[in-house]
Amino acid sequence: MFLHLPPLPLVHFPSRKPSSPEPLSLLFHTFEGSVLGHLRSLVLAPAGDGRPAVSFSYLSRAVDVLSSIHVLSDALVSDPSLAGSDDPALASYVASTISLLDVCNAVSAEVERLRRGRLLLLFAAHLLSPGASPDKIRRARDSIREWRGSAPRPRISSAADLVRDLARRGAPARGKMSALGRAIYAVEDASALIAGALVASLGGEVDLAERAKVPGERFAWGEAFDELRVALSGEIRGRCAGEAADVEASVRRLVEIMDDPAGDGGEKAEERLREAVKEVEDAAEELSVGLDGLGGAVNALFRTVLGSRNTALRSFRLPPNKCK
């Protein structure tokens, strides 16, 4: 899935006579309504019991929503009635998708790291079978210590910088915007928000609250976007995704019991250890399901964005070759 893109060649746009503002196409009105519906579908529901409302399952759904928005933008870019109407907006989209593709690569690498960490925990749980010898307990501790010592890769930090770059692109131009410019503004805003939530949930330093407010009076989806941004900012700040939080809590309880094996003494101590091991195994399984879903969603987003980027590149009208 990893893509290494060469620097974009300079694209020279032919001079055109100023055209009268094109009427907003039916496809564009459908696009704005679809963006609004997609954003509203991501309203956060309280998870209860103090657990984070943002889980890997939720993030997978958010990434699917972003893929759908890029599919819609692909249809707009290839719409003959909008062709050539806003080359600067297209250039912005082509540039921003490079950052988004790099974010996808960084997230995929982090998902793989978390999967490997899950194997360390399952190995520790396997070693702590009833009647485990002191050597097995020591090896289980080593495995847990290795899991805890594993930190997010530097690529996640780089991805946070890419998300900030995406967010800076979003200031809407004053005055009338073309239909294509409005659509690409929506796509880039949605990309910055959802990519930011994704990277922040994986340990990247992204402050969603810094994002400029979208003027709701100019964009039908603006109010829903800002409500979602505020909700995600408050929920994600300093917290990891729900499945990861559950794993951390279960491991913490297991270590506490390992540090105090006597506890209530006798059979109760062994039962407590057995229950704690089962909690770790169950939490690791939920984590695996969440990571599988997220990894698949990010791979699909990568392919979708790459396709829509190629559509945008093809839509540029290059000047004729003047060489004789």
Q: What is the average per-residue pLDDT within 16-34?
A: 62
Comparing 303 with 49, which gets the higher pLDDT? 303
pLDDT (0 to 100) of residue 12:
45
The arithmetic mean of pLDDT across residues 92-112, rounded, is: 93
Which pTM value belongs to this model? 0.83
- Average the pLDDT over 134-163 and give the result: 85
Scanning the chain, the segments in alpha helix (DSSP H) are 26-40, 56-77, 87-127, 134-149, 154-168, 179-201, 222-236, 242-259, 266-315
Residue 34 predicted with pLDDT over 90: yes
How confident is the model at residue 173, as a pLDDT?
63
Is 237 or 74 the better-scoring residue by pLDDT?
74
Instruction: Of 175, 174, 169, 162, give the one whose Cα is nearest residue 206.
Output: 162
Measure Cα distances from 104 to 68, 107, 201 in Å.
Answer: 16, 5, 14
The Cα 206–Cα 164 span in angstroms is: 7
| Alpha-carbon torsion angle 283, 287, 288, 289, nearest 10 | 100
d(CA 173, CA 189): 14
Mean pLDDT, the chain, rounded, equals: 82
The sign one gets for the Cα dihedral 153, 210, 301, 102 is negative
Mean pLDDT in residue range 177-201: 90
Q: What is the pLDDT of residue 320?
A: 41
Please answer whether residues 147 and 120 qualify as being in contact, where contact means their C-beta atoms are separated by less than 8 angstroms.
yes
Percent of the chain with pLDDT over 90: 44
Grouping H, G, I as helix, E, B as strand and the rest as coil, residue 25 is coil
> Which of 174, 8, 25, 31 lies closest to 85 in space, CA to CA?
25
